[in-house]
Amino acid sequence: MLRLQNVNTLYGEIHVLKNISLHIREGEIVSLIGANGAGKTTLLNTISGVVTPKSGTILYCEQNIARKNPDAVVKMGISQVPEGRQLFGPLSVLDNLKLGAYTRYSSAGKRGVHQDLDVMFELFPRLKERQKQYAGTLSGGEQQMLAMARALMCRPRLLLLDEPSMGLAPLIVSEIFRTMSQLREMQQTTIFLVEQNARMSLKYSDRGYVMETGKIMLEGTSRDLLDNREVQRAYLGKQKKPIWE
Amino acid sequence: MAVWDETIECSPREELEQLQLERLQSSLNRAYKNVSFYRSIFDSKGVVPEDVSTLADFAHLPFTTKKDLQSNYPYGLFAVPLREVVRIHTTTDTVDTPTVVGYTHNDLKNWSSLVARFLFAGGVTRDDVIQISFLYGLFTGAFGLHHGAEKVGASVIPASSGNTEKQIRIMQDYRTTVLVSTPSYALILAERLENMGIDPKTLLLKKGLFGGEIWSEKVRKDIQDRLFIDALDNYGVSELMGPGIAGECGARNGLHVFEDHFLPEIINPDSGETLPPGETGELVLTTLSREAFPLIRYRTGDITALDHGACECGRTLVRMKRIAARADDIIIIKGVNVIPDQIEHILAEVEGCEPRYRVIAKRENKRDVLEVRVEVSENIFFDEMKHQESFLIRVTNALSHGLGIRVEVKLLERKTLEEELKASAKVLDTREL
């Protein structure tokens, strides 16, 4: 479904992405793990068109989207949940969701968007309870759910998730990841997940890539990556039982 | 036809090549980061791993040779700390410095899946009883097949090698259906069965998966006719992993290379240039998934050709021709290609045991002469000149007949071969061509 070949992205003089090649098949959950500053978010921004790569191809459903603008990329069915949620704090939950459907009104009309809203409320019952509340007053976990729901309102075929676990308590993180799996089952959404929480993201994904200083160092099934000692040492740490269990 | 891993083995070429590119790039990145040998040769050539953008882009990278492996003996080329290595195999050559291969947990997992692929392609299933008559030890063959066969779910008998009568007894009592060994051992078995007066048809043996040495279609026919089994070929390289690099499918039209884990190239063995598709040359392999022991452009020394045409079995993996020769050992004399393995087989037949020998091609009075120096073993009586002479005549006749050219045989005293091999190669061509 998505196929990157030799993508290079520069910020001025700084070479951030070095010859990145990767692929995501339809219906897969693929995670990209790596340390701070490895270039993970840049990679997502490059796919979604926020950043333009210097060279390389990004094939999405056999079309090269490497030079497309973000709005065109969204219309083609790729939607990104940005790092740190980036919600519209002073707007209500409902308005945030409606804004997510911005590109859908012309094709689906109001009724279509309302149907989508119902689906989102089914997937995230919490948001239904709080639809009138300002987004800025939600808890961290609820904000993450809202960010995901907002991205889903434009009915993407490929969802790019950037650090959904950031700043959340472990129990909430599990809930977010479970919702993500549900999402694939209910809507057949393909998911590309960027995470620092390597253990959790590999647990919920099919395959993974390990990124280090702008380069892909390892590709494999999540099982293989979890078994890889280097990955364990660098990204998984010791497996500690949470104290409240 | 049965396929073990259909998503990979029958995947569209485009998808397979994407996967190869990704794995190639990440393998190069890992090798560059973790193996000082690769970092220094990349740096000396002014190349960085990021320069490789296509599978064809590869030709400017340097080769890795057996010498490199030996000069980094034992652990110099490992890409992970030793504590992450869970298995070590080496070559069993007694004269040369051995080459050492390490495997991580994931490497072993991949290895057994790859072996399972060719076993399954050869028709081995969980209903089979598989007798592994490779030597269990430092050599990769036995353990590679063992774990692959377990993965398929067959009942594995680790019979190891030698003691042919016991092997036959196991075959009868435990109702072995699949034999795994070298092709030459299959012939030894056939011979022993004939001597013991056992009809091979009374055994339940129906398949043999043979590897570990070069064997011809003639040997295949011989094995099939004498043991009444299907004989299938598989290919491995001890320095890379062992068996599981390529294997024959039911179509028997070449061996499918497991390209998701190994990237094959064919080069001209003299110039090192990459040859166009379909041409015959030396096989060069790059590992795509190895964690402990990545090898970049390793020269296998095996002569073959790649066939990109579609295979009737449905697999899209490229096929390599069965290996006919080794690049370093082949001698062309009087228009005849002489492969040391042939000499080895003939000597083994005459002597009845593993021969110790070297081959020298030389020019005497403008005539090309092939000299074979054979070290005598305990089987040959040297006290009696009569025996020695008759042995010499028998060996000379057998070699001349078998190779189709006249051969001069010299007998060496015990333990002298080792000294000679220290000074020069096992196969030596002193002619000025």
Domain CATH for A40: 3.40.50.300
> Per-residue pLDDT for B414 more than 80?
no
Residues A125 and A183 in one domain: no
Residue predicted with more confidence, B90 or B344: B90
Place of tokens 């490992």: B78
Whether the per-residue pLDDT at B401 is higher than 50: the answer is: yes
From CA A144, how far away is CA A172, in angstroms rounded? 10
The domain tally of chain A equals: 2
* Confidence at A109, pLDDT banded by 50, 70, 90: confident
Q: For residue B394, what is the domain's CATH number? A: 3.30.300.30
Find the range with the poorest average confidence among A231-245, B5-19, B63-77, B381-395: A231-245
- Chosen domain end from B295, B323, B351: B323
Confirm or reject contact between A230 and chain B (CB < 8 A).
Answer: yes
Least confident of A154-168, A199-213, B209-223: B209-223
Domain shared by A103 and A148, yes or no: yes
Strand, coil or helix: A93: helix
pLDDT of residue A234: 83
- Residues B164 and B229 grouped into a single domain: yes
**pLDDT tens digits along B100-151:** 999 999 999 999 999 999 999 999 999 999 999 998 989 899 999 999 999 9
Together in a domain, B275 and B423: no
- Angstrom distance (rounded) from CA B302 to CA B214: 9
Please check whether residues A68 and A188 belong to one and the same domain.
yes
Asked if A215 and B49 come within 8 Å (Cβ–Cβ), the reply is: yes
> Is the pLDDT at B166 greater than 60, yes or no?
yes
B87 touching chain A per CB within 8 A: no
Same domain, B202 and B62: yes
Residue where one domain finishes, among candidates A124, A155, A186 = A155
Is B33 near chain A, with CB under 8 Å? yes
Indicate the pLDDT class of residue B184, thresholds 50, 70 and 90.
Answer: confident
- Is pLDDT at B306 greater than 90 in this prediction? yes
- Which pLDDT score is estimated for B419? 78
Residue B54 has pLDDT above 70, yes or no: yes
pLDDT attached to residue B423: 74
Question: Is B15 near chain A, with CB under 8 Å?
Answer: yes
Identify whether residues B83 and B157 lie together within a single domain: yes
Residue A1 covered by a domain: yes
User: Environment class of residue B24 by beta-carbon count within 10 Å: exposed (0-12), middle (13-18) or buried (19+)?
Assistant: buried
Written as six digits, the tokens of B280 are 């015959």
Residues B260 and B307 in one domain: yes
Which domain-ending residue is among A98, A125, A155?
A155
- Alpha helices by DSSP H, B197-329: 217-227
CB-based contact A219 B26, cutoff 8 Å? yes
For position B330, what pLDDT does the model report?
Answer: 67
| Interface membership of A6 toward B (CB under 8 Å) | yes
Same domain membership, residue B343 and residue B299: no
Give the model confidence (pLDDT) of A4-27 as tens digits. Answer: 999 999 999 899 999 999 999 999
- Tell whether A161 is covered by a domain: no
Query: What average pLDDT does range B252-277 have in this prediction?
Result: 92
Task: Indicate whether A187 and A226 sit together in one domain.
Answer: yes
Encode pLDDT of A40-65 as tens digits.
Answer: 999 999 999 999 999 999 999 999 99
More confident site: B418 or A81: A81
Domain count across chain B: 2
Q: A50 and chain B: CB distance < 8 Å anywhere?
A: no
pLDDT of residue A245: 46
- A241 pLDDT band (50/70/90 cuts)? low
Confidence check: pLDDT of B352 > 70? no
The residue with greater pLDDT, B84 or A237, is B84
pLDDT tens-digit map of B14-48: 999 999 999 999 999 999 999 999 999 999 988 88
**Cα–Cα distance between A87 and B205 in angstroms, integer?**
70
The CATH number linked to B53 is 3.40.50.12780
Q: In this structure, are B315 and B392 located in the same domain?
A: no
Q: State how far residue B338 is from chain A, nearest Cα, in angstroms.
A: 44
Q: Has residue B351 got a pLDDT over 80? A: no
ipTM field: 0.88
Reply yes or no on whether the pLDDT at A240 is more than 60.
no
- Structural domain including A105 reads 81-155
Q: Find the Cα–Cα–Cα–Cα dihedral B35, B39, B40, B43, rounded to 10°.
A: 180
Residues B375 and B253 in one domain: no
Q: Look at residue A177 in the predicted model and tell me its pLDDT.
A: 92
Answer yes or no: is A18 within a domain.
yes
* Residues B136 and B198 reside in one and the same domain: yes
Q: Measured between alpha carbons, how far is residue A65 from residues A1, A57, A60, A239, B185 in Å? A: 12, 8, 7, 40, 58
Tokens 């569209």: give the residue.
B12
Considering the domain architecture, whether residues B284 and B344 belong to the same structural domain is answered as no
Averaged confidence pLDDT in chain B: 88
Query: How far, in Å, CA of B235 to CA of B429, rounded?
Result: 28
B271 and B339 in a single domain? The answer is: no
Query: Count of A–B CB contacts within 8 Å?
Result: 59
Give B180→chain A minimum CA distance, Å: 29
Per-residue confidence (pLDDT) for residue B354, from 0 to 100: 66
Q: Worst-scoring range by mean pLDDT, A114-128, B162-176, B324-338?
A: B324-338
The answer to whether A221 contacts chain B (CB < 8 Å) is: no
* Res A244: pLDDT: 56
pLDDT of residue B95: 58
**Structural domain harbouring B385:** 331-429
List, for residues B138-160, the tens digit of each pLDDT value.
989 999 999 999 999 999 999 99
Q: Domain for residue A219, yes or no?
A: yes
Q: Looking at the domain assignment, is residue A7 inside a domain?
A: yes
Q: Which of B303, B323, B343 is the last residue of a domain?
A: B323
- Indicate if the pLDDT at residue B93 is higher than 70: no
Q: What pLDDT sits at residue B314? A: 93
What confidence score (pLDDT) does residue B1 get?
A: 63
Do both A71 and A186 map to the same domain?
yes
Interchain CB distance below 8 Å, B30 and A217: yes
CB B406 within 8 A of CB B398: no
Given a contact cutoff of 8 angstroms between Cβ atoms, the answer to whether B297 and B286 are in contact is yes
- How far, in Å, CA of A189 to CA of A96, rounded? 21
Question: Which chain B residue lies closest to A62 (C-alpha atoms)?
Answer: B14
State whether B340 and B240 are in the same domain.
no
To test the contact with chain B by mutation, choose from A229, A231, A236 the residue with the greatest count of B C-beta atoms within 10 A, namely A229
